[in-house]
Structures are given as structure tokens and as C-alpha cells.
Structure 1
């Protein structure tokens, strides 16, 4: 039984797993291997890193950091989900996983939001400012909820989020600060 099942092994999911594990929670990350960051050749905007790793290198570092504090990261894709009243039973190609809470970090993939009947705003899962959906014990983070779209700046917090929004507003289009 996991305290939190994080679905998605990109920057949002791995950053969340790090913080959850450091808080003493038992955390499993299911990584479908489809993070958009994998295709980025250079990430110059990740705070604290003076060198500019590739997206894949950055994901490897984020994974290692989360695992260092006890998060477990496994390859996997959700095939089905049932709410058993206090526990989610999640079916993957490897078997069944049980968790008390879900954190969806699934970019714009509509599969899980549809399975759970989550309210959406266009491509994004509707949440409050703290990432809570209206479905009890289900949260969403990163691009899945329309925050910091297309950026690996999750660890930079609200300042980076607002800066990206400001530049996007000034340019009249979504701003991307990385090299593909």
C-alpha cells in the first residue's frame, strides 16, 4: 500500500515525489517514459545547475534525487482504476497497485482524468491553487493542470511560473525557454 501514487515521471512528478518522500510518505512513481523533456537537447533554465544538461540527463538526476529520499520509480502505464473507498486500486501492465492518494502529472493525456470523471478546462485538469481536484484524494500538478506549461522549472517555484506567464503574455504565445 502506497501513501501516494504519482502518475508521470517528468519534472512535475519527480519533483513532487522528492518532496513527498522527504516528508516521510511512501511514494511510488509510475513513469510511462513519455516525458516531453526527453526530447530537449539542452535545459538552460533549471535553477542551481550551471551546466546545461540534456532533458534526459535532467530526468535521470531528478529520478536519482527522489529515489535518494525513498521514492520508488517504476516504469508503468495505468490501464484502469477503481476507488474502493479510501484506497485506489490501480491496474498497470505489471499488475495492481494500491494507494491512498493519486497525483496526476500526465501532461495533457486525457486517459486518467476520463477514467476518474475529473472536471477539465480544455486540455487541463481543473484544480484549486493547491492542485486538489474535486475528486477526493486526487491531485494534479504541472502541465496536467495547466501550470508551467512545457517547462522544467517546477523546482523554481512560483517566481519562475509567473515569469513564464509574463513572457507568454508579452509575446502573445506560450514561451519556451529550452533548446530542442
Structure 2
């Protein structure tokens, strides 16, 4: 059983996974392998990365960083979501099933999962409050999926982290800080 299942393995989803895992939550990322970043040949504007990696290399680094703190990343595409009253059952196209208490959607503009849940939308984007909370209880959205950030890796990563911190704060009932010292 996951505390949070993140659907989408791009910068936003992976940065959220990092923050959630560091907060001690059991997190799995479902990565469909469709991140727009995969087609980017080099990233010259990601702070701290002087080597200007390709989009594929940056995603690999983000994935490794999240996994270092306990997040799991699985390949798959979501085909069905069931709310079983406190637990979501998520079925992937290969027939496998994952369970989680909360969902975080980082699905760019893909309408599949938002449609399955009947989420309120503004055009192609999922409607959320400032903390990434959607119209469906226990479901959050981050990154381009919620239309608050353009499709730039650093901005989406920051938004994923922002929503993750809001989610942990909601769970704990107090503001969450993620830093050492």
C-alpha cells in the first residue's frame, strides 16, 4: 500500500516523489515513458548542472535521486482508477494493480486519468487550488497538468516539490519543512 501514487514520471512527478519519500512516505511513480523532456537534446538552464545534460539524462538523474530516498518508479500506463473508500486501486495497461491512499497527477496535458476521476478542468488543465488539491478528495495535481507552469523542466520540478510539501503538510496537519540543519 502506497501513501501516494504519482502518475507521471517527468520533472514534476519525480521532484514530488523525492520530497514525499524524504518525508518518510511510501511513494510509487507510474512512468509511462512519455515525458516531453525525452526529446530535448540539452538542458542549459537547470541550476547546478553545468554539464547541460540531455532531457533523457536529466530524467535519469531525477529518477535516481528519488529512488535514493525510497521512491519506487514503475513503467506503465494507467487504464483504470477505482476509489474504494479511502484507498485508490489503479490498474495499469499490463493488468497490474497498485494501491494508494492519495494520488498526485503529473500527467502534462493527457486527459486520461483526470477524465477517469471526473476532475474539474479548465480546458486541458486540471483545476486545483494553490496547494495542488483537485476537486476530488485525496487527489492532487502538479506541473503542467494543472496549468500553473509552462513546460520547462525547472519550473515543473519546482511545482512538483511545492505540491509535495503541501501534501505532506495536509497529512501531518502542520507546515512541513524539508531541509537539514
Which TM-score tier does this pair reach, normalised by the shorter chain? 0.7 to 0.9
Distance 1:156 1:116, change over 3 A: closer
Distance 1:136 1:28, change over 3 A: same
Residue in structure 2 matched with residue 171 of structure 1 by the alignment: none
Residues in 1 aligned to 2:33 and 2:156: alpha-carbon distance in whole angstroms: 20
Residue in structure 2 matched with residue 20 of structure 1 by the alignment: 20
Residues 2-151 of structure 1: pairs in structure 2 closer than 5 A: 2-92=2-92, 93-151=94-152
Deviation at 1:148, TM superposition (A): 2.0
Deviation at 1:50, TM superposition (A): 1.3
TM-score (norm 2): 0.85
Q: How many residues align?
A: 158
Larger radius of gyration: 1
Where do 5+ consecutive residues of structure 2 fail to align? Answer: 160-181
> Residues 116-137 of structure 1, C-alpha deviation per residue, up to 9 Å, x if partnerless?
0000001100000110001000
Moved over 3 A (4+): 154-158
| 3-state SS, counterpart of residue 104 of structure 2 | strand
Residues in 1 aligned to 2:156 and 2:37: alpha-carbon distance in whole angstroms: 15
Residues in 1 aligned to 2:46 and 2:131: alpha-carbon distance in whole angstroms: 22
Residues 5 and 103, structure 1, Cα contact 8 Å, conserved in 2 = yes
Superposed CA RMSD in Å reads: 1.3
Residues in 2 aligned to 1:122 and 1:25: alpha-carbon distance in whole angstroms: 32
| 3-state SS, counterpart of residue 90 of structure 1 | strand
Residues in 2 aligned to 1:122 and 1:156: alpha-carbon distance in whole angstroms: 22
TM-score (norm 1): 0.85
Residues 27 and 71, structure 1, Cα contact 8 Å, conserved in 2 = yes
Where do 5+ consecutive residues of structure 1 fail to align? Answer: 159-180
